[in-house]
């Protein structure tokens, strides 16, 4: 295919984005070519701005523009509950539920002996420092419900419980709106074990 | 959801892109936040560069970086065949087939009385000027096989044929690899009408 080098470069860069294949990249490239200059510049500027201004919150390691993130800076959060997550994107997912009003702590990953990620590679020292200085009553372990996430949760529970702080874990079970027949056996097994009395 | 204003702005801009919904925008935004600065800058630069350097080919109205596009500038194309398309992206689609080696002419749309797009809104005067000055033996009408595209093709055939130039239209029929039972009745009807003797 013969296209202008600048278009080809744009296609190459667009294809690096997650979930964007050659077809989507082409669709986006032609949309950009068709768009007015201002729209395209706003997108380019937003990309540059986010790299220039966003860094990690000094307290919880969420993405932040100032020294602390919007959640740590908020006055309306429950400062006695701390939710531990692997990545900043997990905070977005939990915030969307509106079911949690406490603070967060981002580990920056999960324990994985396979990939050589140990406790020193995560913000665990920083978490323990927060538990020592802040008045936290409950830690909610919201790492992913997979092998690495469960390993991380088990490890953290073991070192946090001796501090006399309540430790909880997100419930496992059937996804709401899902079909029982399509649930995998591990999930269904967990749902049976954790059945609620009505 | 409380996220840094710069991230929110990036999400808003990403969601403008075709085929990118809130979930994909968030996935791309977090990928950009995680990516090294250089990767993000390359994407932003590619967007700026394409708006700065790409304009329309003075001959065929394809996207071009120089005065003429890569296809018009090429010495290896059949200069006696001209394929008329609605948009530059249609050229990419045809080029990918490797089934066509002639030149192109981009109309910049299709006739649509409903949307008030008439012959003067398309590059038809420019097409007729090319047919008068270039040595074209055949015009392939490759507008889309929909109402606007067919209207445009019929209109062009009527004004080009009197010049003694051969006019052809892309074949309609069943998509290769498709299932007969899933073909819509119009397509199947066309395929029957245009059946080939074996």
pLDDT tens digit sequence for A47-85: 999 999 999 999 999 999 989 999 999 999 999 999 999
With beta carbons under 8 A apart, name residues in chain A contacting B92: 1, 3, 26
Run of H or E residues at A2? none
The number of beta carbons lying within 10 Å of the beta carbon of residue A118 is 12
Q: Which residue has the tokens 């032609």?
A: A30
Question: Could you tell me if B196 lies within 8 Å of chain A, comparing CB atoms?
Answer: no
State which H helix or E strand residue A166 sits in: strand A166-169
How much is the pLDDT for B2?
Answer: 54
Q: Does B58 touch chain A (CB under 8 A)?
A: no
For residue A125, CA distances in Å to A140, A141, B65 come to 17, 16, 54
Nearest CA in chain A to B94: A1
Contact A18/B26, CB-based, under 8 Å?
A: no
Residue A196 C-alpha, separation from nearest chain B C-alpha, in angstroms: 31
Distance separating alpha carbons of residues A190 and A195, to the nearest angstrom: 8
Nearest residue, CB atoms, B89 vs list A6, A26, A53? A26
Task: Quote the distance between the C-alpha of residue A124 and its chain's center.
Answer: 16
Show pLDDT as tens, one digit a residue, over chain B (198 residues).
456 889 999 999 999 999 999 999 999 999 999 999 999 999 999 999 999 999 999 999 999 998 999 999 999 999 999 999 999 999 988 988 888 999 999 999 999 999 999 999 999 999 999 999 999 999 999 999 889 999 999 999 999 999 999 999 988 888 888 788 888 888 888 888 888 777
Beta-bridge partners for B166: B138
Question: What is the pLDDT at residue A102?
Answer: 95
Is residue B141 within 8 A of residue B168, CB to CB? The reply is: yes
* Gap between the Cα atoms of A122 and A105, Å rounded: 11
The pLDDT, as a whole number, for residue B1 is 45
CB spacing of A69 vs B4 below 8 angstroms:
yes
Q: Measure CA of the first residue to CA of the last residue in chain B; give whole Å.
A: 64
Indicate yes or no: CB of A33 within 8 angstroms of CB of B63: yes
Mean pLDDT of A23-46: 94
* Full 3-state SS string of chain B: CCCCHHHHHHHHHHHCCCCCCHHHHHHHHHHHHHCCHHHHHHHHHHHHHHHHHCEECCCCCCEECCCCCHHHHCCCCEEEEEEEECCHHHHHHHHHHCCCCEEEEECCCCCEHHHCECHHHCCHHHHHHHHHHCCCCEEEECCCCCHHHHHHHHHHHHHHHHHCCEEEECCCCCCCCCCHHHCCHHHHHHHHHCCCCC
Chain A residues inside the 8 Å CB shell of B47: 10, 32, 40, 43-44, 47
| CA torsion through residues B109, B111, B117, B120, sign | positive
B50 contacts A29? CB cut-off 8 A:
yes
Integer angstrom CA distances of residue B163 from B83, B128, B131 = 16, 10, 8
Distance CA A148, CA B183 (A): 47
Q: Looking at the complex, does the CB of residue A21 fall below 8 Å from at least one CB of chain B?
A: no
Inter-chain Cβ pairs, chain A and chain B, closer than 8 A: 156
pLDDT for the residue numbered A15:
95
Q: pLDDT band at residue A86, thresholds of 50, 70 and 90?
A: very high
Closest-CA residue in chain B for A65? B4
Going by C-alpha positions, the residue among B76, B61, B67 that lies closest to residue B109 is B61
Assign A181 a pLDDT band (cuts: 50, 70, 90).
confident
Does B42 contact A87 at a Cβ distance shorter than 8 Å?
no
| Chain B from 69 to 88: CB within 8 A of any A CB | 69-71, 74, 87-88
Whether residue A2 has pLDDT greater than 70? no
Domains and CATH numbers, chain A: 5-53 (1.10.8.420), 77-169 (3.40.1360.10)
Q: What's the complex ipTM?
A: 0.78
């Amino acid at each position: 295919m013969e296209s202008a080098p600048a278009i080809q470069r744009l296609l190459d860069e667009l294809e690096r984005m997650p979930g964007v294949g050659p077809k989507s990249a082409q669709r986006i490239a032609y949309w950009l070519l068709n768009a007015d200059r201002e729209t395209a510049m706003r997108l380019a500027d937003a990309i540059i701005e986010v790299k220039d201004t966003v860094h990690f919150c000094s307290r919880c390691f969420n993405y932040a523009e100032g020294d602390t993130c919007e959640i740590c800076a908020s006055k309306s959060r429950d400062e006695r509950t701390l939710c531990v997550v692997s990545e900043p994107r997990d905070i977005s997912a939990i915030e969307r539920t509106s079911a949690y009003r406490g603070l967060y702590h981002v580990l920056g990953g999960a324990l994985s002996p396979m990939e050589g990620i140990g406790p020193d590679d995560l913000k665990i020292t920083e978490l323990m420092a927060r538990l020592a200085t802040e008045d936290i009553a409950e830690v909610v372990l919201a790492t992913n419900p997979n092998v690495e996430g469960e390993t991380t949760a088990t490890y953290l529970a073991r070192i946090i419980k001796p501090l006399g702080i309540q430790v909880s874990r997100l419930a496992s079970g059937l996804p709401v709106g899902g079909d029982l027949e399509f649930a995998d056996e591990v999930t269904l097994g967990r749902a049976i074990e954790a059945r609620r009395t009505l």
